[in-house]
Amino acid sequence: MWSLTPEELVAIKLSLRVASVATLASLPFGIAVAYILSRGRFRGKMLLDGLVYMPLVLPPVVTGYVLLILFGRRGPLGALLEDTFGIVLSFRWTGAALAAAVMSFPLMVRAIRLAMDAIDRRSEEAAATLGASPAWVFLTVTLPLALPGIVAGAMLGFAKALGEFGATITFVSNIPGETQTIPAAIYTYTQTPGGDEGAFRLSVIAVLIAFGALIASEVLSWRTTRRRAGLA
């Protein structure tokens, strides 16, 4: 019962690759957007805020359909990427990574923004009065102080990306060995007579990986906080 089939191993490896790429690729953008929302004072901030969190409230299928319209081979962005760089996202594992990144982005931004909101502004103001530029203040004060939140956001994003299903299957379908991640493989098993054991195996694997990511997030955040307190 616990012996994984080659197809299941491929789905697990693909899920880890998709979640890792989605997290690493979206993390710089997540930090930037969280900083803008936390520190920015500008017209349209509420609109940006709403757009960032939109994937949380939209049905995942709708998000996947929007991605298909925009990044499909006939879509405006998809055609541009293919003609200019030779990059095809629809029905490829890279498209699955894009869908996972979009769906996990709000959770990542939320965690990082809360960490930045909790920073004492006087630390940043003190650095600025000593002549530090805004970029240097961000790199030497804001970013280190927000590091526990950044770690937590990255791990939450990874866990969310690992379990993404609706947007992924709409955008890149369910192709074994190419776009069939763990959730898609579980769905396939549930639609197959006698597939209960396979669905159960992959469900346990998904729970263990997600739980491990969350535990790692807590440990890394705790160690970062301890190290920062020791330097204070």
Position 93 scores a pLDDT of: 93
What is the tally of structural domains in the chain?
A: 1
Separation of alpha carbons 89 and 101, rounded Å: 13
- How far the first Cα of the chain sits from its last, in Å, is 52
Domain hosting 199: range is: 6-231
- Residue 222 within any structural domain of the chain: yes
- Residue 108 within any structural domain of the chain: yes
Per-run averaged pLDDT (10 residues), the chain, 232 residues: 84 94 96 92 88 92 94 90 89 94 95 90 85 87 89 90 92 91 93 90 91 82 69 52
- Residue 117 within any structural domain of the chain: yes
Angle formed at CA 75 by CA 69 and CA 78, multiple of 5 degrees: 110
- Residue 208 within any structural domain of the chain: yes
- Residue 1 within any structural domain of the chain: no
- Residue 98 within any structural domain of the chain: yes
Position 168 scores a pLDDT of: 93
138: Cα within 13 Å, side-chain hemisphere = 10
- Residue 124 within any structural domain of the chain: yes
Position 26 scores a pLDDT of: 96
Check which CATH number belongs to the domain holding 151 and give it: 1.10.3720.10
Q: Do residues 189 and 202 make contact, with C-beta atoms less than 8 angstroms apart?
A: yes
Position 59 scores a pLDDT of: 93
Burial zone of 119 (CB within 10 Å; 0-12 exposed, 13-18 middle, 19+ buried): middle
Question: 189-228: b or e for each residue (b if 16 or more CB lie within 10 Å)?
Answer: beeeeeeeebbebbeebbeebbeebeeebeebbeebeeee
- Residue 155 within any structural domain of the chain: yes
Position 190 scores a pLDDT of: 92
Position 232 scores a pLDDT of: 52
Separation of alpha carbons 149 and 26, rounded Å: 15
